[in-house]
Amino acid sequence: KNEVEQSPQNLTAQEGEFITINCSYSVGISALHWLQQHPGGGIVSLFMLSSGKKKHGRLIATINIQEKHSSLHITASHPRDSAVYICAATPTLNYGGSQGNLIFGKGTKLSVKP
């Protein structure tokens, strides 16, 4: 079982739809990250959170520490949101975290159709 699991693997939406991507983890963490990777490769950090909720524009990330679960929401989706979204966790020291190495989910490929 992977330590960080994402669902769904693939997601197709119509422009304007509300989108949710889920992430569950099984290790102790000090932070949970949401990353975005556009076609072509470069990865950008969207959010880093350890509790509660963060919002940036149309993107919202939430985390429930007790349930070991995080969600990334996109409101009013647009074709330019099409990308791979990756959830990653910074494990605590007793789960193998040492210098900030991350445990990655396998990513969710989002395609938003006009």
Partner 1 sequence: DVKVTQSSRYLVKRTGEKVFLECVQDMDHENMFWYRQDPGLGLRLIYFSYDVKMKEKGDIPEGYSVSREKKERFSLILESASTNQTSMYLCASSRPLGVMDGETQYFGPGTRLLVL
Residues in contact with partner 1 by the rule CB under 8 A: 30-31, 33, 35, 40-45, 48, 86, 88, 90, 97-102, 104-107
Strands lying side by side in the sheet with 52-56: 4-7, 19-25, 69-74, 59-64, 52-56
Residue placing its CB nearer to partner 1 in the complex, 42 or 114: 42
- Residue among 77 and 90 whose Cβ is closer to partner 1: 90
**In angstroms, what is the minimal distance from the CB of 25 to partner 1?**
14
Which of 88, 110 has the CB closer to partner 1? Answer: 88
95: left (phi over 0), alpha (psi -120 to 50) or beta: alpha
- Residue 9 beta carbon to partner 1: minimum distance, rounded to whole angstroms: 9
Nearer to partner 1, 20 or 45 (CB): 45
Q: Helix, strand, or coil here: 94?
A: helix
Query: Minimum Å distance from CB 57 to partner 1?
Result: 18
Look at strands 4-7 and 43-49 and give their pairing. Answer: unpaired
Q: How far is CA 96 from the centre of its chain?
A: 21
